[in-house]
């Protein structure tokens, strides 16, 4: 696993956006051979999405032949609700990057049979040829997508009950009222993320410091589901200095040293 440490959120966001653009451009996607990208929501990727929009507008990348799969969606809030992940993605990325609507995949948390929706999502990923790069964030408890502590590290797309901790964390988007945060969500599984050819996680801010320590410096553990990435053949965490507050000095120095020449996003 690579750990890229940037000194600010702005630099982290640029780094990740440039990395994604390079990954897409190196692949040279066409209609018959699209690039398949997994995407998260949350505040962490917002800076990266802003940078991606700029890079599209500057003509550095095109999303015409990119297919996206989002990680998760709440159950029971309408698609047009301002805090649905459908709305989030439309507002923060999709409206600005010229991606064909039919290339966008987001779980439907309002469908009658949620289990069928989850199973079909896995099939759709398979039919698209699998995910090349899954971008993700983490919750303060180290969850990836909505794979809350205790989730199977082999889990697939399914319905999850959100923990009280996660609902409190996300209540900032729901008038700070935990009762307005949905109790259920549909989410890709840890296994679904692990199937991607490559996984890149954004870890930003002091609030994620404990999780980063657990994920990197301790063992693989279903209570910190993002720690599964230790077993991925090509995973990378891009964080800022604040997020390293609970890492050993030795780890920080080690990763800074081995990445010191990679000022531009290099793909190894
Ligand atoms: C939610 C999302 C996760 C995201 C997490 C952290 O739980 N399902 O995919 O990583 O929030 O969000 P933020 O980046 O706002 O801290």
Render pLDDT for 226-258 as a digit per residue (tens, 0 to 9): 999 999 999 999 999 999 999 999 999 999 999
Render pLDDT for 174-195 as a digit per residue (tens, 0 to 9): 999 999 999 999 999 999 999 9
Better pLDDT: 265 or 219 = 219
- The Å distance, Cα 101 to ligand 1 centre, comes to 24
Q: Which residues contact 135 (CB under 8 A, 6 or more apart)?
A: 16, 20, 37, 38, 39, 40, 45, 48, 200, 201, 202
In contact, 139 and 169? CB cutoff 8 Å:
yes
Catalytic residue among 51, 73, 117, 148: 148
Q: What is the pLDDT of residue 265?
A: 73
Q: For 228-240, what is the HEC assignment?
A: HHHHCCCEEEEEE
For the CA of 138, the closest atom of ligand 1 is 10
- The Å distance, Cα 261 to ligand 1 centre, comes to 30
Q: What is the pLDDT of residue 267?
A: 65
The phi, psi pair for 230, rounded to 5°, reads -60, -25
Give the mutation target among 9, 12, 40, 45 for probing the ligand 1 site: most ligand atoms within 8 A of CB: 40
- Token pair listed for 264: 């531009």
In contact, 216 and 1? CB cutoff 8 Å:
yes
How would residue 261 be classed by pLDDT, with cut points 50, 70 and 90? Answer: confident
Percent of the chain with pLDDT over 70: 99
Q: What is the pLDDT of residue 268?
A: 60
Q: What is the pLDDT of residue 260?
A: 87
Nearest CA to ligand 1 atom 5: 139
Instruction: Inform me whether the pLDDT recorded for 46 exceeds 70.
Output: yes
Residue 138's closest CA among 161, 169, 107, 159? 169
> How many other C-beta atoms lie within 10 A of the C-beta of residue 65?
18
């Amino acid at each position: 696993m690579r750990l890229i440490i940037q000194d600010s959120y702005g630099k982290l966001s640029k780094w990740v956006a440039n990395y994604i653009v390079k990954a897409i451009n190196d692949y040279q996607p066409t209609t018959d051979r699209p690039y398949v990208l997994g995407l998260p929501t949350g505040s962490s990727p917002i800076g990266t999405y802003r940078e991606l929009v700029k890079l599209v507008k500057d003509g550095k990348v095109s999303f015409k032949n990119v297919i996206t799969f989002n990680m998760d969606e709440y159950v029971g809030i309408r698609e047009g609700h301002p805090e649905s992940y459908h709305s989030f993605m439309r507002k923060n990325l999709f409206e600005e990057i010229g991606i064909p609507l039919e290339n966008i995949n987001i779980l439907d948390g309002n469908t009658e049979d949620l289990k069928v929706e989850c199973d079909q999502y896995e099939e759709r990923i398979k039919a698209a040829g699998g995910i090349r790069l899954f971008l993700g964030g983490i919750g303060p408890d180290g969850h990836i997508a909505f794979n809350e502590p205790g989730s199977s590290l082999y889990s697939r797309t399914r319905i999850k009950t959100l923990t009280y901790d996660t609902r409190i964390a996300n209540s900032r988007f729901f008038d700070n009222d935990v009762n307005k945060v949905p109790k259920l969500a549909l989410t890709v599984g840890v296994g679904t993320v692990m199937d991607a050819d490559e996984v890149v996680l954004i870890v930003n801010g002091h609030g994620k410091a404990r999780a980063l320590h657990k994920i990197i410096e301790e063992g693989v553990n279903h209570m910190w589901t993002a720690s599964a990435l230790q077993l991925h053949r090509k995973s990378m965490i891009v964080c800022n200095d604040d997020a390293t507050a609970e890492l050993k000095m030795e780890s920080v120095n080690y990763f800074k040293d081995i990445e010191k020449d990679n000022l531009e996003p290099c793909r190894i």
